[in-house]
Structure 1
Amino acid sequence: MKKAGLLLLGIIAAIVLLANLGSLVGMIISLGILYVAVKKFLQADSTTGKVIWGIIGVIGLSTAVANMPAILGLIAVYVLYVIYKKWDEPGESEDPFTNFEKQWDELKRS
């Protein structure tokens, strides 16, 4: 039953990721532009260069803010990662006799 729940959650997370894939790519590109603009702004010596890189940085920032639905895509990626890690974890046995035998062995040792 645990695997069925993980599978259902994984399918939902994959659908959310695919639905937000465009905004995720847009956010990655705009954050890259913003990063380059900030680096060039700090390296620029002239006022004109700082103004141009500042304008490019503001454009990059505004497009990054416009792609905020990409946060849902990032959450979906994280959920898929957690499901992948938990998929093969050994769980507690649901067989009551197995648990009884473990407890009996513990009582024998005491």
Structure 2
Amino acid sequence: MKKFLLFLAALVALAVLLANLGPMILLGVSVWLLYIVFKQFMKSDSTAGKIGWVILGLIILSIAVSNIYAVIGLAAAYAIYLIVKNWTGRDKEPAVTQSNDPFTNFEKQWSELNNS
């Protein structure tokens, strides 16, 4: 039953992810363009050039803010990651192996001495 519920949750998260794929792409492109505009703004020496880059940056920023729903798609992608992680059971830590370093296993050896 647990795997069935995980499967249903994964299907819902996949549908949400696919529905928000367009805004996710536009948000990524607009953030990249904002980075480029900022770099060009810093390179510009003239006041008119800086004003032009600020206006262009504000236009691109408005596009980025309008695609804020892409965060829901990112949350759905993270939910799919967690579901797959629970499905395969890979969240268990590997067993700690004994090494030759005396400081690595000091706590374990100390507890063995106290229990003896």
Which TM-score band applies after superposition, normalised by the shorter structure?
A: 0.7 to 0.9
| TM-fit CA distance, 1:43 | 2.1
1:84 correspondence with 2:84: yes
SS at 1:87's partner residue? helix
**1:26 maps to what in 2?**
26
Q: Could you list the runs of 5+ residues in structure 2 that have no partner in the other structure?
A: 91-116
Aligned partner of 1:68 in structure 2 is: 68
Greater CA drift, 80-89 or 11-20? 80-89
- Quote the Cα distance in structure 1 between the aligned partners of 2:68 and 2:52: 25
**How far 1:68 sits from its partner (Å)?**
1.4
Deviations 1:37-94 (A, max 9, x none): 112112222112211111111011000001111111111111111112221117xxxx
Give the TM-score normalised by the residue count of structure 1: 0.75
Find runs of 4+ consecutive structure 1 residues off by over 4 angstroms: none
**Take 1:87 and 1:43, find their aligned partners in 2: how far apart are those partners?**
50
User: Deviation of residue 29 (structure 1)?
Assistant: 1.2
Report the count of equivalent residues: 90
Partner of 2:99: none
The residue that corresponds to 2:41 in the other structure is 41
Structure 1 gaps of 5+ residues are 91-110
Match of 1:15 in 2: 15
Distance 2:83 2:48 in 1: 50
Q: Distance in 2 between matches of 1:6 and 1:44?
A: 53
Distance in 2 between the 1:45 and 1:83 partners? 51
Q: CA RMSD in A?
A: 1.3
Helix, strand or coil: the match of 1:45?
A: coil
Looking at secondary structure, tell me which structure has more helix per residue.
1
Opposite residue 18 of structure 1, the aligned amino acid is L
